[in-house]
Structure 1
């Protein structure tokens, strides 16, 4: 029962976030409808023909934003081919027609559902807490969030709190269903149709495969370089010192003893470097303690104070957990080296078969993927899993690195 209650609360919280996010895009959809109608009206006098390409670009951009929003909530929306750039062809394109249908539905039906996602929590908090607020309310003020009824006694005020509990029950019971209803038009109308040419998807998978091979080759070169420059040199030193000891042991026992100490020290350093390389291939802590424990260890050893917030109901594939671990490790290293931050946060969630990793710091911002900070390597590693990497780093901060990975590959 306890686990079921926790799962219901988590599902309702995720649904409210999805509804509120949809409310934002629904407001934008309403503005786009106004723009499209004004453009169509202006076309009657010829002026709209100049504005129509820009209006269509706004429509396509909003549709792309909705696809990305649904993807963040674990809903896979395969994008169609980019629409034509010429106005006549774009208007006749099936993708443009489907996006126009979506924007009409989302600006009405999606707006209402999003508004419920905003108002239901407010009503629940307001009515549940009304007994605490009642002594300070003006005499004769409405007692419920529905705008009806007044409370003249503590008993009536407590009855209002029962309405608040009812709102909470509605959120827990109907919140996920409302979120699914709001997202259904986007899943239906913004996805690639059955007649869509799959060449773009084939090209994307080809690029992903190439990125995976590149990431594998880079990893092999890193391991080879670590072994060659570290452990191998130490072992060569041990071999040379042992040879010198064998020649000196009879004629200079004291000098031979000193060389043996140096050989032992070099062997210990080689062993430590071999362990470091082994941990770099696949940290044993991932197998022993899972991703949550591994990230806790990273945070504890971070040069910048770091907090972790991991919510993983079940384990993901080992390769996915390893990629998430290395992304977090590289991100924390970058924060310590380049950001000037005073704190960092690593958040991990598992939703809808997707692993969502977020690393945030309060540093100076301005992170650049082309600046040699390792971000290009992170992107290659994520692309190998057909994942998504998003980086937000305005000058002045904060820097937010978000990674979206499929859990099972």
Structure 2
């Protein structure tokens, strides 16, 4: 074996080890997160069982009334958890919360089946995910702690054996290494086993009316096409009415200056100055149009810096609160930028506000924006304020827009977008 082959083999072993450690760490986090929903699931399962047993006495109906609401809330929490550690779990239509309607609802019945599995198997796997790493660390470092331990203290995490000599204390490390091997080898599979019932039972099932989803996607596609066509018209209008006219002016002035240069040098110089000014204006308008297509500030400073820049240039004092730890898809960031830009323009033009706030949060694969002002309120999508264009942009990404603008204010615009990849 050559030196190069040995180096390549060492590099490959390191890559495998790093990947195994990364997968084990992610699996521990997933199992511990699953325990966070399995504990309330176990309590809710016990409450459901008590309600079912005491139903003939009439007490069960009283106890069982809050169960559907709590079940749906816990299922939403589990979907969000699964979405953070893997593919998003598409939620079905909101199920009913009244007891009789919930008992007949197929979505609720699937959630009950998930509850029974997650409160038992998921709870056990979650405990293993928390306790086994603690046991591995405890046994691996036991030789360091052995001199400080009481004389008759149990040596191993299994609760058996007492070390009286250094070799016996060092032997406990072998048990810790065994726990570590189990964590590296089995925990990723255990994490998938824990999440499988949620991904199977909490996603939108066959009883979901797919025609509604097809209609929704058709409307979203139409909105995306309309938004794209509107953007192309805006760019064409900006180029035709602004930049093109400037360039025509430059051409005319240069032609006139060329004809005058021999007989009237001073007049030709004046025309050249006007041509230069028109060319500079055309260049500035071209830069404005280019920034309107995809603002370079997004690539240079990210969404947080871009939104801070928008707030700084707003005519109304504006405060920003941005917490977006990772970059979203470029199209999503551009949409978020234009939404905030259009909203702040509306605030400056129509609201009469004295202050505005822009909030951005990225959690669970979703980007949430909130633009709020203390103006007069009464914003209307049909009033030509650009809100329809904002809604079309958001719909093109399968996002949602909510507007609350009562007369007298305040006006709050909430936008929810998928972060994308």
Q: TM-score under structure 2 normalisation?
A: 0.65
C-alpha distance in structure 2 between counterparts of 1:402 and 1:156, whole Å: 58
**Structure 1 spans left out of the alignment, 5+ residues:** 286-293, 312-319, 348-355, 390-400
Q: Does structure 2 conserve the Cα–Cα contact (< 8 Å) formed by 1:234 and 1:270?
A: yes
**1:182 Cα deviation after fit:** 0.7
Structure 2 counterpart SS, 1:113: helix
Task: Give 1:158 shift.
Answer: 4.7
Residue 37 of structure 1 deviates from its aligned partner by 3.1
CA-to-aligned-CA distance 1:352-374 (integer Å, 9 cap, x gap): xxxx86889xxxx97559999x9
Is 1:37 paired with 2:49? yes
Residue in structure 1 matched with residue 211 of structure 2 by the alignment: 199
Is 1:213 aligned to 2:225, yes or no? yes
Contact 2:332/2:419 (CA < 8 Å) preserved in 1?
A: no
Q: CA deviation at 1:184?
A: 1.5
Instruction: Say which one has the larger Rg.
Output: 2
The Cα shift of 1:381 comes to 5.2
**Is residue 271 of structure 1 aligned with residue 283 of structure 2?**
yes
CA drift of 1:109 comes to: 0.7
Equivalent in the alignment of 2:123? 111
2:159 & 2:288 partners in 1: Cα distance?
65
What is the Cα deviation at residue 71 of structure 1? 2.9
Partner residue, 2:331: 323
Is residue 19 from structure 1 mapped to residue 27 from structure 2 by the alignment? Answer: no
Counterpart of 1:73? Answer: 85
Aligned equivalent of 2:178, options 166, 183, 205: 166
Separation in 2 of the partners of 1:14 and 1:332? 35
Normalised by the length of structure 1, the TM-score is: 0.66
List per-residue Cα deviations over 1:21-79 (Å, max 9, x = no partner).
21111112122223323433554343543554432122122223323332333335444
- Equivalents in 2 of 1:247, 1:92: separation in Å? 88
Give, in whole Å, the separation in 1 of the partners of 2:145 and 2:417. 40
Name the structure 2 match of 1:62. Answer: 74
The within-5 A match list for 1:227-376 is 227=239, 231-232=243-244, 234-235=246-247, 238=250, 242=254, 245=257, 249=261, 253-254=265-266, 256-257=268-269, 259-261=271-273, 263-268=275-280, 270-271=282-283, 273-274=285-286, 277-278=289-290, 281=293, 297-299=300-302, 302=305, 321-326=329-334
Q: Distance between the aligned counterparts of 2:44 and 2:340, measured in 1?
A: 40
- Distance 1:376-1:186 versus aligned 2 partners, 3 A rule: farther
The question of 1:102 aligning with 2:114 is answered yes
- Alpha-carbon distance between aligned partners in 2 of 1:275 and 1:134, rounded to the nearest angstrom: 71
CA RMSD of aligned residues (A): 5.0
User: Which whole-Å CA distance do the structure 2 matches of 1:172 and 1:295 have between them?
Assistant: 40
Per-residue displacement from partner, 1:278-331 (whole Å, max 9, x unpaired)?
Answer: 465468x9xxxxxxxx977334993779999779xxxxxxxx943245367669
Question: 2:187 is matched with which residue?
Answer: 175
Alignment match of 1:28 (pick from 40, 46, 55): 40
Distance 1:197 1:357 in 2: 25
CA contact (8 A) 1:36 1:55 kept: yes
- Cα deviation for residue 107 of structure 1 reads 0.7
Hey, what's the Cα distance between the residues in 2 that align with 1:112 and 1:216?
51
Cα shift at 1:85:
5.7
- Hey, what's the Cα distance between the residues in 2 that align with 1:225 and 1:268? 19
Superposition deviation, residue 161 in structure 1: 4.0
After superposition, the Cα gap between the structure-2 partners of 1:129 and 1:254, relative to the gap in structure 1 and judged at 3 Å, is farther
Task: Assess, with a 3 A threshold, how the Cα gap between structure 1 residues 135 and 339 changes in structure 2: closer, same or farther.
Answer: farther
Change (3 A) 1:329 1:366: closer
Cα deviation for residue 116 of structure 1 reads: 1.9
Stretches of structure 2 that go unaligned for 5 or more consecutive residues are 1-11, 310-321, 345-354, 402-415
**Structure 1 residue 218 displacement after superposition:** 5.0
